[in-house]
C-alpha cells in the first residue's frame, strides 16, 4: 500500500490505460507510436546523471559547509532558492528537487528552525528556473524535440516569462531574519570520481542533445556507472520514467476521443485561447499531460509552452515537481501550506503574463 500512496500518479495513469485498453483493445497497436521515445531517452539519461551526482554527496557536503556562513533563515533561504532556480535550468525541476529537498531536510536535522516553508519555495523556484531552458523540465524537452527548436532560440522565447516569474518570486518572499540555531554538523563521505564523471557526461549530454545523438552515448554512460557505482541503478527513479510513458499513451488516447475533439473544436484556437487552455488543463491534469493533450490540437508551441510553464505552480497536481517536493516533507499539513503560497503566486504570474505578453 505504501508504494501506491507514494506513486499514486503512476497507478492513476495505469488504471486509465487499463480502462482504455478494455474499451478498445486495438489501441495496443498504437502505444509505441504515441510515446515520444526521444524525449524518454533524454529524460532517462538526465535522471541517471543527476542521480550519480547526488549520490556522490558533493551537494550535501557543500550545503553543510555553507550552513556555517548563514546566520539567519533569510540568508539560508536566499541561498537555496537561488540554487534551486539555477540548477533547475539544467537538471530539470523534478531532478533538482530530488537533490535540493533532501539536502534541506538533512540540514533541518542540524538546526532547530522549521524549514517547511523553504521546501515549498524550493518547489515554486524549481518551476521558475526550469521554464527558461529546453532541458529545464519534461514539457520543455518535449517541445524542444518535437518542434526542432535550437537551444538558444528556446531560451530567447522563454526569457520574458522567466523574468516575470523570477521577479515575482522575490516580490512574494516571506522569510524572516530569524537567527539560525545550529547544532552539531556531520560531514558525509564524498565520492569525487562519481561527481566529476557525472558532470563530464552531463556536458557531453548537452552537446549530444543539440546534435540529436543521445541514443549513441547512453550505452557508454550505463557501462561506466555499472563499473564504478552500481548503486545508481537501484536509486534510479524508474516510476518517474514509467509515469511519463503512461502519460504519453493516455493523453494521446484521450485526444483521439470524438467527444473531446468536438469540445475542443468549439473553441477558436487563437494564441491567447491556446495559452488559456494550456493553463486550465495544466491545473486540472498536470502540465506534462496538458502539453501532450494540447499539442494534438494546436501547433502554436509558444502558447502551449507558456501556458504549461506558467501553470506549473498553483494546485499541487499542476506539476510533478510540486508533488515530489511536498511528499518528501511527509506531512499532510504541507499540502495546505503549499497552496497558501503557490496559488497566490500562480495568480500573480498568470495575470502578469496576460497583461505584459498577451
Match 535540493 to its residue by C-alpha cell. 100
Whether 16 is covered by a domain: the verdict is no
Question: Does 115 have pLDDT greater than 70?
Answer: yes
- Percent of the chain with pLDDT strictly greater than 90: 21
Residue 72 main-chain phi, psi, to 5 deg: -140, 160
Whether 120 is covered by a domain: the verdict is yes
Residue 134 main-chain phi, psi, to 5 deg: -70, -20
pLDDT at residue 348, rounded to an integer: 92
pLDDT in tens, 252-266: 887 777 777 777 777
pLDDT at residue 292, rounded to an integer: 81
pLDDT in tens, 40-81: 888 788 788 878 887 888 777 776 677 777 778 888 888 889
Q: What is the full DSSP assignment across 192-239?
A: HHHHHHHHHHHHHHHHHHHHT-HHHHHHHHHHHHHHH-TTHHHHS-HH
Whether 20 is covered by a domain: the verdict is no
Looking at 4-8, 19-23, 292-296, which range is the least confident one? 4-8
93: domain range? 36-356
Instruction: Give the whole-angstrom CA distance, residue 111 versus residue 84.
Output: 20
Whether 202 is covered by a domain: the verdict is yes
The more confident residue out of 19 and 103 is: 19
- 272 CB contacts (<8 Å, ≥6 apart)? 303, 358
Long-range own/partner contacts, residues 296-301 (CB < 8 A, 24 or more apart): 296/251, 296/252, 296/255, 296/256, 297/255, 297/264, 297/269, 298/269, 298/274, 300/269, 300/271, 300/274, 301/143, 301/146, 301/147, 301/149
pLDDT at residue 345, rounded to an integer: 92
Whether 30 is covered by a domain: the verdict is no
pTM value is: 0.75
pLDDT at residue 124, rounded to an integer: 93
Whether 10 is covered by a domain: the verdict is no
pLDDT at residue 163, rounded to an integer: 92
Whether 238 is covered by a domain: the verdict is yes
**Domain tally, the chain:** 1
Question: Does 120 have pLDDT greater than 80?
Answer: yes
pLDDT in tens, 315-356: 887 887 887 788 777 676 777 888 989 999 999 999 998 888
pLDDT at residue 223, rounded to an integer: 94
pLDDT in tens, 293-325: 888 888 888 899 999 999 988 888 788 788 778
Whether 8 is covered by a domain: the verdict is no
Cα-based angle 295, 358, 84 (whole degrees, multiple of 5): 70
Amino acid at each position: 500500500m505504501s508504494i501506491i500512496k507514494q506513486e499514486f500518479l503512476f497507478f492513476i495513469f495505469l488504471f486509465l490505460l487499463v480502462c482504455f485498453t478494455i474499451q478498445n483493445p486495438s489501441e495496443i497497436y498504437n502505444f509505441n507510436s504515441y510515446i515520444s521515445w526521444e524525449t524518454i531517452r533524454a529524460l532517462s539519461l538526465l535522471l541517471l546523471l543527476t542521480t550519480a551526482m547526488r549520490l556522490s554527496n558533493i551537494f550535501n557536503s557543500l550545503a553543510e559547509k555553507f550552513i556555517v556562513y548563514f546566520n539567519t533563515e533569510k540568508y539560508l533561504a536566499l541561498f537555496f532558492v537561488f540554487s534551486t532556480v539555477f540548477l533547475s535550468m539544467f537538471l530539470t525541476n523534478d531532478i533538482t528537487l530530488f537533490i535540493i529537498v533532501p539536502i534541506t531536510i538533512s540540514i533541518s536535522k542540524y538546526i532547530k528552525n522549521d524549514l517547511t516553508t523553504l521546501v515549498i519555495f524550493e518547489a515554486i523556484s524549481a518551476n521558475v528556473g526550469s521554464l527558461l531552458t529546453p532541458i529545464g523540465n519534461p514539457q520543455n524537452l518535449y517541445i524542444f524535440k518535437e518542434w526542432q527548436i535550437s537551444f538558444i532560440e528556446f531560451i530567447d522565447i522563454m526569457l520574458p516569462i522567466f523574468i516575470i516569474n523570477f521577479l515575482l518570486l522575490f516580490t512574494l518572499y516571506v522569510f524572516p531574519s530569524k537567527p539560525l540555531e545550529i547544532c552539531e554538523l556531520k560531514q558525509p563521505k564524498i565520492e569525487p570520481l562519481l561527481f566529476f564523471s557525472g558532470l563530464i557526461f552531463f556536458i557531453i549530454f548537452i552537446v549530444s542533445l543539440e546534435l540529436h545523438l543521445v541514443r549513441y552515448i547512453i550505452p557508454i554512460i550505463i557501462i561506466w556507472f555499472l563499473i564504478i557505482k552500481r548503486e545508481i541503478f537501484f536509486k534510479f527513479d524508474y516510476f518517474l520514467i514509467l509515469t511519463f510513458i503512461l502519460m504519453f499513451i493516455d493523453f494521446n488516447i484521450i485526444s483521439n476521443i470524438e467527444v473531446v475533439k468536438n469540445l475542443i473544436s468549439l473553441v477558436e484556437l487563437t494564441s491567447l485561447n491556446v495559452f488559456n487552455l494550456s493553463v486550465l488543463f495544466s491545473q486540472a491534469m498536470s502540465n506534462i499531460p496538458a502539453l501532450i493533450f494540447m499539442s494534438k490540437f494546436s501547433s502554436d508551441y509558444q502558447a502551449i509552452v507558456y501556458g504549461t510553464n506558467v501553470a506549473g505552480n498553483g494546485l499541487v497536481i499542476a506539476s510533478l515537481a510540486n508533488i515530489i517536493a511536498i511528499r518528501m516533507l511527509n506531512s499532510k499539513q504541507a499540502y495546505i501550506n503549499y497552496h497558501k503560497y503557490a496559488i497566490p503566486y500562480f495568480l500573480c504570474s498568470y495575470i502578469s503574463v496576460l497583461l505584459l505578453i498577451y
